[in-house]
Structures are given as C-alpha cells and as structure tokens.
Amino acid sequence: MASQITLNVDGMSCGHCSGTVQRTLEEINGISGVSVDLKGKKATFQVDNESLVDTAVKEVTDAGYKASKN
Ligand SMILES: [Cu+2]
C-alpha cells in the first residue's frame, strides 16, 4: 500500500536544484508521484514501502542537499 511522504529539503536555491532532487527521487524504484517545492523546501511523493523513505533521504543527501523526514 502506498503512503504519502513529505521530506524537508534544505539547500535548493534554483530550478536546477529542484530538478535534480526531482530526478533523484524519480529514479528510486518504488517511489512515484514526486513533487518538489523549491520555495517551501519540501519534496512529496508516494512510497510502496516505508523503508524507501530512508533510501530517499540518503539519495537526496548524496546529491548534495540536506534532506530530513518531516
Ligand atoms: Cu540550484
């Protein structure tokens, strides 16, 4: 069952940054419906499995942004 997740994402300063975060999340199997809010410093998406939240935090962090669970 999919659940809706929101992460806080710090460090995004422009559309390039939010695009990178968007693509990073979309590339993770089991994550869908990704929406990144640049001004709100948030990313929302659905996960097939709650353990994917930790994967999402790690991948966004590896991409150079500061992600944390909301
Ligand atoms: Cu940027």
The reported pTM is: 0.94
Expressed in angstroms, the distance from the first to the final Cα of the chain is 20
Query: Where do the structural domains in the chain lie, given as residue ranges?
Result: 3-69
The pLDDT tens digits of the residues spanning 37-49 come to: 999 999 999 999 9
**H/E segment holding residue 22:** helix 15-26
3-69: CATH class: alpha beta
The pLDDT tens digits of the residues spanning 11-60 come to: 999 999 999 999 999 999 999 999 999 999 999 999 999 999 999 999 99
Phi, psi of 63 (to 5 degrees): -75, -5
| Ligand 1 centroid, distance to 41 Cα (angstroms) | 12
| Ligand 1 centroid, distance to 1 Cα (angstroms) | 33
Q: Cβ(65)–Cβ(12) under 8 Å?
A: yes
d(CA 54, CA 52): 5
| Ligand 1 centroid, distance to 12 Cα (angstroms) | 6
| Ligand 1 centroid, distance to 20 Cα (angstroms) | 8
